[in-house]
Amino acid sequence: MLKINNLSATVDDGKKTILKDLSLEIPAGEVHAIMGPNGAGKSTLSYVLTGRDGYAATGGSVEFEGEDLLEMEPEERAAKGLFLSFQYPLEIPGVPTMTFLKTALNAQRKARGEEEMKAPEFLKKAKALAKELKMDPDMLKRPLNVGFSGGEKKRMEIFQMMMLEPRFIVMDETDSGLDVDAMRIVADGVNKLRSEEFGGKDRGMLVITHYQRLLDYIVPDKVHVLAGGKIAETGDAEFAKKLEAEGYDAYAA
Amino acid sequence: MPMPLDLKTLPHRRQEAWKWTDVQAKVSEDQNGLTRTAIPNFDVPDGVKLSEGEGQKGHGAMAELAAQFGGQSWNVYVPANTHPTSDLVIDRLAQGHARIAIMVDKGASLTMTENYEGAENGFSNLDLQIHLAEGATLNRRVIHRDPDSHIRISNVHIAAESNTTITQHCLSFGGALSRLETGLTCEGEGVKAILNGAYLLRDKRHTDMTSFIRLKQPDSHIRQAVKGVVTDKSRGVFQGKFLVERPAQHTDAAMRHDALMLSDSAEVRAKPELEIYADDVACEHGNTIGALDESALFYMRQRGIPLKQARALLTEAFVSEAFDSLADDTLRESLNAQVQAWLEANA
């Protein structure tokens, strides 16, 4: 589903190379985790995949369902179904959450040539989901993320994810700022999107995390270590526990 | 033949108050309306009286010209304790000089809307003098939509007695050169005023929002917020001054001007000023000029919102803050819709 081939990428106007010949393939229906030390390029990978300005791919390719992802604008990638749960979700002053999300959903649908979702259907879905994620419905009326705590912002990312039902999800340090209860709620949401009922067979996920604990709740099919700008080792869910215990010293560049 | 207007009498950039709005440099002999009397149209609510008379004269060169070419003053009178159920609407200020004097008597209220829609290559000069007697309320709205070639000066002064309430909301899309000037003198104590505005400018348009608020007595509460959006080679000007005189203790006054540059070729000039002689007051001013937040734009695009739409949404949210304090829902929505339409065409 997502094929990364020998990807190299720079930041700071090409001054700093962060990813070096990184290759990774994530088939539909699988959840892969990327772990690694700080500064290994985990967040850079998430921004290169989603097309953020300033994160330039200088070599290699990324194919998403057979299409060249790197050629697309960020909004086109989103419409294709690529979703990034941000490590630091942005505050959008003056734009109510519901307005933001409805605009996003219908912009994606329009780009895919689908019909817009009507307001009543959208509201019904949003209300049910807010309840499921134990969110205060008033949060949906407030400007997106403005004045929210770190944990509330992360929960809002999951809310958006479940409203948009993306095909491929990149989660960048979603566990940071979450207490155990909140993490369980978030993981329940993610696991629901993995389930058969919600089309999990056709959906891929890349979970970027520094710590193993999130992976107790979202059990990955594969775990990769990102170090020195490339995948240094790959293992199964148990491998994450070993990494947690032993640290990343063995992969120091 | 009327006598000509001596262009040398027009304000120019070597005068401090006009340094960013050089009327003399912009006006040429062939401008329509230079020596004419404007014929405004008034929708007068029941209970409000309109007459012609001497009126009052404002200060400065433009007021002198209005006195010279503007003919008689249109005088609007709202009797004491009257609360008209509809708005006073003033429009057709298409070109020429106009003089208007409005008196809102004790305990009365008036909601007024000025629609500025100028003629091609026209010149408009308005001298509007408003007097609010004790306990009076004024809601003033200005919607300014001139063609590219129009030059407009709107010079407004409000004299506010004790315990008066003022809300003002201006929306300007500029013109060849425009200055919307508001003077407020708080003659009495306990004046409450909200003086907000927004300008959105494209091409080579120019809007100058200048204000001078003079507090002479204690306990007034002033909030001013002006939002600017400029693109292409347009120029926005904000000059704001609070003068707090010695007796005006417990004044609570805050002034903000925030401008967004949608392109690097546009220009914003701002001069916020405080001059305070009373020692127990809360006064502040803030001024920012910046671009849209790139991180926020990326976040929105990652959710599937196209760049142009993301820019428009963020800009609209930024501008609409100036109209949050507008009690009239219909008008607020109308202003926001005009902002949206402008953004769709220009952002």
Sort strands A31-35 and A67-68 into parallel, antiparallel or unpaired: unpaired
pLDDT for position A15: 81
CA dist B131 and B58 (Å) reads 12
CA-based nearest residue to A25, from A2, A47, A8, A6: A2
- What is the three-class DSSP state of B2? coil
pLDDT for position B232: 96
Are A100 and B303 in contact (CB < 8 Å)? Answer: yes
Q: B290 touching A, CB under 8 A?
A: no
pLDDT tens, position by position, B263-280: 999 999 999 999 999 999
- What is the three-class DSSP state of A206? strand
Quick one: CA dihedral A112, A117, A123, A129, positive or negative? negative
pLDDT beyond 60 at B1: no
CA-based nearest residue to B227, from B335, B115, B112, B331: B335
Q: B300 touching A, CB under 8 A?
A: yes
Q: Tell me, what amino acid is at A207?
A: V
pLDDT beyond 90 at B64: yes
Are A94 and B300 in contact (CB < 8 Å)? Answer: no
Task: Give how far A152 is from chain B: nearest CA, Å.
Answer: 17
Q: B318 touching A, CB under 8 A?
A: yes
Are B309 and A86 in contact (CB < 8 Å)? Answer: no
Query: DSSP label at B7?
Result: G
CA-based nearest residue to B93, from B153, B140, B139, B49: B153
Residues of chain A with pLDDT under 50: none
Sort strands B96-104 and B73-78 into parallel, antiparallel or unpaired: parallel
CA dist A134 and A152 (Å) reads 10
φ/ψ region of A199 (left if φ > 0, alpha if ψ in -120 to 50, else beta) reads left
Among A78, A86, A94, select the one facing B320 at the smallest CB separation. Answer: A94
Task: Give how far B310 is from chain A: nearest CA, Å.
Answer: 9
pLDDT for position B187: 98
Residues of A in contact with B295 (CB under 8 A): 90
Among B297, B300, B332, the strongest candidate for a mutation testing the A interface, having the largest count of A CBs within 10 A, is: B300
Sort strands A2-11 and A56-64 into parallel, antiparallel or unpaired: antiparallel
Query: DSSP label at B74?
Result: E
- What is the three-class DSSP state of B267? strand
CA dist A92 and A86 (Å) reads 14
Are A107 and B304 in contact (CB < 8 Å)? Answer: yes
In chain A, what are the helix, strand and coil shares in percent, each to the nearest 5? 40, 25, 30
- What mean pLDDT comes out for the span B160-187? 98
Residues of A in contact with B309 (CB under 8 A): 103, 107
Q: A178 touching B, CB under 8 A?
A: no
Are B299 and A103 in contact (CB < 8 Å)? Answer: no
CA dist B225 and A143 (Å) reads 20
φ/ψ region of B284 (left if φ > 0, alpha if ψ in -120 to 50, else beta) reads beta
pLDDT for position A253: 54
pLDDT beyond 80 at B319: yes
pLDDT tens, position by position, B194-238: 999 999 999 999 999 999 999 999 999 999 999 999 999 999 999
pLDDT beyond 80 at B288: yes
pLDDT for position B71: 92
CA dist B57 and B37 (Å) reads 15
* Mean confidence (pLDDT) of chain B: 96
Residues of A in contact with B304 (CB under 8 A): 75, 78-79, 104-105, 107-108, 111, 164
